[in-house]
Structure 1
Amino acid sequence: MKKFSFVAHMPDTPGSLHRAAEIIKKYEGNINRIQFDRRIDPGTVFYEVTASDSSYKKITDELAFIGYLQSSLKPLDFLKFCVYLPNRPGALYEFLGFTTSAGANIALIDFDDKGRHPDRLTVSLNLEQSAIVDRLLDTLKSRYRLEIIEYDKTGKHLDDTVFYVRFAQAVRDLIGESEDAFLLSFLAETNHIAQELMDRGCNPHQVFESVLATGQTMRATSGEHFYADVQQFRITDTATLFCFQPPCGGSLFIIDTPKERVMIDTCYGIYHHDIMAMLSRYGLGDMSRISRVIVTHADADHCGASGFFSAPVSMHHATLEILRTNNRAYGSRSEGSVLEEFYTKMVNLFSKFNVPADVECFSAPTGITRGIFPVIGSFRIGEIELEVLDGLGGHTCGQVFLYSKEYGLIFAADSVINFGSMTKERADYSSLAAFLVTSVNVDSDLAKQERVALMALAEETDRALAPSGRRCLICGGHGAVSVMANGKLAVYGDIMRYEAGRDS
């Protein structure tokens, strides 16, 4: 027995759901999940069933035979026009006979004989086959005066009676042409998280809008619209730290020395070409100088471009497992969450995640700790030695932090973020993830412990550096590089703006 999922598109008539359930029962299928909501789409139903391979085939064959099984998501044509009807009984009835014969689904009809145009009927139609559009228009033109207001073949102007077709078309716009089977599977998974969030009181339309907004915001801020906030710090006489905040997602850091460069996190894959152009602007464009890429954790906004680099990529073994399972909640108490699993797949898809081929995992704990964090490795870049601290698994399992007591550096990943330094646009984008998974941390209790311990480590390091007049720089996964000030985070240093195609 296996679990299968499929999408049904049923007539909006009494008994349709009952008939489908009868077919599933007939072949001994067990329904594990069903979701239908007229507020979203009055004809589309999502099923998950447990059945044998042979039973599932019989179920879907019979559903297909009666026209219930949805196997394609071709965009429908949309036609909006005005037709001038004669003022006599039966005129509307006769007109509707032509649209019904054409297989047209009326999305809008508007007529008022006391209005500004008492003889004009406005109609919007969704047509399932583009070939019939011309025939319908020819038929109507031969009998009525017509004015075409809009004729759309992209599926962008369809009404909510074909909501999932519209949604699929919007996804196609983001990822390019895809097989219908893939899109149907993606729709089923999106519907599943909508069902989960509706159970928690969320508006289903906000779920679908947030999914699309995630991909649309990435695309809208790439290419010529890419920008970043940049900070630069001299750490030693020969080492410089750069922080680049892209429009969406996590920051990218580079420690530059005369002999080598180390990159810490990589941002989204969709930004890779934009970031390469930006790095060239700051004299960092020679990728052969990058000796290592260090990944703090598995979220796509931190490691999604790591596969583009030829240098070895270092990460926690649990981070590698998250990439393998495609589930950011792997290894946590939230591992079974449909929200976390879908979000991982969705963001990886929209952000063009490029999985690294050459991966080196950090070692086992050395027996040394920094505060509550075990040391599981170290790297030297010029004079700077960075210890790798093993996190508790609050934000994601396998998230690590990098620390140098001597030079006052803490790369805190997503456990310490100066939210006050984030622009409204970045905060709005981050809120999409918070809505879709309800919390960006897979274990909020552990995440709080990590944050408190890292800030305590920063204050301890500040005290040790005080005689030299230097500060401990907290390099969070988002927002500006900051320092501790009266127990809170404060932006440190100047912030420059980079814009694609412009000088800083």
Structure 2
Amino acid sequence: MNDDTSVGIPVRTFVTNVPDKAGAFLLANRIILQNGGNIMRVSYNKAVDLHTMFIDVQGSTRSLDAISQQLQAIGYLGNCLAETQVMMVELKIPDEPGALYPVLKILDRYDINISYINSSPNGTPYQNFRMGLLIENPKVVKLLLDDISEHCPIDILEYDASEASLDNTIFYIRLANDMQKMFYLSAERTMEFISEANRILQLLQDRGENPQKVFDYIHRFAAFIKRYEGEQFQPDVNSRQVSAQVTLHTIEPPCGSNTYVLETQDELVLIDTGFAVYAREMLALLRRLFPDWAQRKKRIFITHADVDHCGLLNVITDAELWLNRKSAESLRLQWLNQPDFRERKSFCMGYSKLSRIITSYQPPEQDRFYLIDDETTPEEHEDLLKIGAFTVGDLDFEVFEGSGGHLYGEMIFLCRAHSLIFTGDNLVNISGFSFERAEFNSLAPYLMTSVNVDSKRATAMRRQVISLIEQTEQQTGSSCLILGGHGPHSRLREGKLVTAE
């Protein structure tokens, strides 16, 4: 289970293993009601998992703890997810006499036949035993796995998908095992991941999507993030002189989420900071680009408070953080472990939380915030509204706040005199994506159904940003360099973005 918060009242997700019999959910419901809990969401699909039911419950911490204890007492909560019928498993057994015996006793207790077994020493204190288990009664699988896992770690390697009696109950445990190994997640964080994966599944199944496709996209998203860690993190980096005093450095990682650095003689100003998972690689790169990185004065501005643009805010601790009030509030909610402005949209919550988990994202401390706007900025507005300004060397930027179509608190930074504009995710050069970035950026729209919290507003805001660029170009007589949150530099040609030279 994992804790969340809704309007200040705790909400906990219980990942329950319920018996496949009439009245199973009724019993869980009675326990929840007797302890003053309010069921906010239930997700169960027998075709996806025979036993696993996700229940979001709102109540006091005391009530939720009591519900947890009672569900555990009746066997509805455990450390494993339900499993399937015919399995090839791998057990990590201590390499010592008699260590396998307790597992064999468990298999005998449940009348499980072994069709295949193999093991060999591997130079560690453990042996990996591979077993083929023939299971005639799928209802015993949950109990079997629970009992075995008390003695040793167990992983699922293969299953016989040709058997008519098999369902897809292996999805969750396979995904859990993969994520745990891939990102070294704790048991608690793994269960959180599975809970949010289910939230995405529920959303997309309601739209007619196939469960296997959903799980495939989730796995691809996580695997892509992992693939480019370490030596495989090879972003495109380029530099250009944009004024007499300022050099623009652009860092475009394999997964997009650009980081820009405006360098002057006196300081470094970052615009957005990418994913937290690449913090070590990004810091190493920044130190190579700027040998005096540690001594430099630093400021960071963010275009919006999505986790893929704020990943290093908690890592670059010697920088001032500049943002507007709405973005500050979104980060404050993250700090309190409450749904931020994106996660308040049900179709965004699962993906956003998965992103936090697999990228090890942590929000920054609020005492580092410097606010761009004042209290006169309206809460709601339809127009691209000027809310402040800042200067970097000889570049004077105007700050505009959008209506919140992509994300509440979104901002645009425009330097008219030098025809530069940072557009965040309000306007990106999609046609300029590399193959790998195009592949990665296709995952989020599927898993959230839309990357925008309000598509109608996002479309209107994109038009207003384009109009602002056109007005600036008419005023200055020069083409604007457009610096989006993803993709290469671009310019506007006949109303469309083209990659800049």
Shared fold (TM-score greater than 0.5)?
A: yes
In the alignment, the residues of structure 1 paired with residue 338 and residue 440 of structure 2 have an alpha-carbon distance, to the nearest angstrom, of 18
CA contact (8 A) 2:148 2:154 kept: no
Which residue pairs with 1:386 in the alignment? 397
Moved more, 242-251 or 28-37: 28-37
Which residue pairs with 1:402 in the alignment? 413
In the alignment, the residues of structure 2 paired with residue 234 and residue 293 of structure 1 have an alpha-carbon distance, to the nearest angstrom, of 20
Moved more, 276-285 or 160-169: 276-285
Offset at 1:226? 0.5
- Seen in structure 2, the aligned counterparts of structure 1 residues 294 and 105 have a Cα distance that, compared at 3 Å, is farther
Aligned match of 1:164 in 172, 181, 191? 172
Offset at 1:342? 2.7
- Seen in structure 2, the aligned counterparts of structure 1 residues 230 and 201 have a Cα distance that, compared at 3 Å, is same
Which residue pairs with 1:91 in the alignment? none
Which TM-score applies when normalising by structure 1?
Answer: 0.76
In the alignment, the residues of structure 1 paired with residue 132 and residue 80 of structure 2 have an alpha-carbon distance, to the nearest angstrom, of 30
After the TM superposition, which residues 176-191 of structure 1 pair with which residues of structure 2 at under 5 Å, given as runs?
A: 176-180=184-188, 182-191=189-198
- Seen in structure 2, the aligned counterparts of structure 1 residues 101 and 351 have a Cα distance that, compared at 3 Å, is same
Which residue pairs with 2:440 in the alignment? 429
Aligned match of 1:313 in 305, 313, 321? 321
Letter in 1 for 2:237: V
- Seen in structure 2, the aligned counterparts of structure 1 residues 167 and 107 have a Cα distance that, compared at 3 Å, is farther
Which residue pairs with 1:147 in the alignment? none
Offset at 1:23? 6.0
After the TM superposition, which residues 444-483 of structure 1 pair with which residues of structure 2 at under 5 Å, given as runs?
A: 444-466=455-477, 470-483=478-491
In the alignment, the residues of structure 1 paired with residue 156 and residue 13 of structure 2 have an alpha-carbon distance, to the nearest angstrom, of 27
In the alignment, the residues of structure 2 paired with residue 44 and residue 482 of structure 1 have an alpha-carbon distance, to the nearest angstrom, of 48
- Seen in structure 2, the aligned counterparts of structure 1 residues 32 and 287 have a Cα distance that, compared at 3 Å, is same
- Seen in structure 2, the aligned counterparts of structure 1 residues 58 and 328 have a Cα distance that, compared at 3 Å, is closer
In the alignment, the residues of structure 2 paired with residue 463 and residue 98 of structure 1 have an alpha-carbon distance, to the nearest angstrom, of 81
Offset at 1:64? 3.8
Which residue pairs with 2:299 in the alignment? 292
Aligned match of 1:377 in 362, 369, 388? 388
CA contact (8 A) 1:328 1:340 kept: no
In the alignment, the residues of structure 1 paired with residue 450 and residue 30 of structure 2 have an alpha-carbon distance, to the nearest angstrom, of 39
Aligned match of 2:224 in 217, 228, 243? 217
Deviations 1:249-282 (CA, angstroms, capped at 9, x unpaired): 4111111122222111111111122123333444
- Seen in structure 2, the aligned counterparts of structure 1 residues 472 and 328 have a Cα distance that, compared at 3 Å, is farther
Which residue pairs with 1:243 in the alignment? 250
CA contact (8 A) 2:490 2:498 kept: yes
Offset at 1:450? 1.7
In the alignment, the residues of structure 2 paired with residue 162 and residue 231 of structure 1 have an alpha-carbon distance, to the nearest angstrom, of 46
CA contact (8 A) 2:89 2:132 kept: no
Deviations 1:383-407 (CA, angstroms, capped at 9, x unpaired): 1111111222111111111111100
In the alignment, the residues of structure 2 paired with residue 261 and residue 30 of structure 1 have an alpha-carbon distance, to the nearest angstrom, of 50
What is the root-mean-square deviation of aligned Cα atoms in Å? 3.8
CA contact (8 A) 1:279 1:285 kept: no
After the TM superposition, which residues 1-150 of structure 1 pair with which residues of structure 2 at under 5 Å, given as runs?
A: 5-13=13-21, 16-17=24-25, 20=28, 31-49=39-57, 63-72=71-80, 78-79=88-89, 101-103=108-110, 123=133, 128=145, 129-130=147-148
- Seen in structure 2, the aligned counterparts of structure 1 residues 64 and 390 have a Cα distance that, compared at 3 Å, is closer
Which residue pairs with 1:233 in the alignment? 240
Matched, 1:339 2:343: no
In the alignment, the residues of structure 2 paired with residue 413 and residue 200 of structure 1 have an alpha-carbon distance, to the nearest angstrom, of 29
In the alignment, the residues of structure 1 paired with residue 155 and residue 209 of structure 2 have an alpha-carbon distance, to the nearest angstrom, of 27
Offset at 1:229? 1.8
CA contact (8 A) 2:196 2:354 kept: no
Matched, 1:192 2:199: yes
In the alignment, the residues of structure 2 paired with residue 98 and residue 474 of structure 1 have an alpha-carbon distance, to the nearest angstrom, of 67
In the alignment, the residues of structure 1 paired with residue 338 and residue 59 of structure 2 have an alpha-carbon distance, to the nearest angstrom, of 29
In the alignment, the residues of structure 2 paired with residue 171 and residue 80 of structure 1 have an alpha-carbon distance, to the nearest angstrom, of 17
In the alignment, the residues of structure 1 paired with residue 267 and residue 413 of structure 2 have an alpha-carbon distance, to the nearest angstrom, of 18
CA contact (8 A) 1:259 1:289 kept: yes
Letter in 2 for 1:155: D
- Seen in structure 2, the aligned counterparts of structure 1 residues 63 and 445 have a Cα distance that, compared at 3 Å, is closer
- Seen in structure 2, the aligned counterparts of structure 1 residues 361 and 107 have a Cα distance that, compared at 3 Å, is farther
Matched, 1:412 2:412: no
Deviations 1:289-318 (CA, angstroms, capped at 9, x unpaired): 243111111111111111222110101111
- Matched residue count: 440
Letter in 1 for 2:257: G
Secondary structure (helix, strand or coil) at the match of 1:312 reads strand
Letter in 1 for 2:177: Q
Structure with higher Rg: it is 1
Matched, 1:360 2:348: no
- Seen in structure 2, the aligned counterparts of structure 1 residues 231 and 79 have a Cα distance that, compared at 3 Å, is closer
Secondary structure (helix, strand or coil) at the match of 1:157 reads strand
Which residue pairs with 1:438 in the alignment? 449
Secondary structure (helix, strand or coil) at the match of 1:155 reads strand
In the alignment, the residues of structure 2 paired with residue 66 and residue 243 of structure 1 have an alpha-carbon distance, to the nearest angstrom, of 56
In the alignment, the residues of structure 2 paired with residue 340 and residue 392 of structure 1 have an alpha-carbon distance, to the nearest angstrom, of 18
Offset at 1:363? 1.9
Moved more, 11-20 or 272-281: 11-20
Secondary structure (helix, strand or coil) at the match of 1:262 reads strand
Deviations 1:232-265 (CA, angstroms, capped at 9, x unpaired): 2221233211211111141111111222221111
In the alignment, the residues of structure 1 paired with residue 298 and residue 448 of structure 2 have an alpha-carbon distance, to the nearest angstrom, of 35
User: Which structure 2 residue ranges, 5 or more long, are not aligned?
Assistant: 1-8, 92-103, 117-130, 136-140, 160-167
CA contact (8 A) 1:245 1:251 kept: yes
Aligned match of 1:271 in 278, 281, 288? 278
CA contact (8 A) 1:31 1:47 kept: yes
Letter in 2 for 1:246: P
- Seen in structure 2, the aligned counterparts of structure 1 residues 340 and 122 have a Cα distance that, compared at 3 Å, is closer
In the alignment, the residues of structure 2 paired with residue 52 and residue 322 of structure 1 have an alpha-carbon distance, to the nearest angstrom, of 24
CA contact (8 A) 1:304 1:353 kept: yes
In the alignment, the residues of structure 1 paired with residue 443 and residue 256 of structure 2 have an alpha-carbon distance, to the nearest angstrom, of 11
- Seen in structure 2, the aligned counterparts of structure 1 residues 177 and 158 have a Cα distance that, compared at 3 Å, is farther
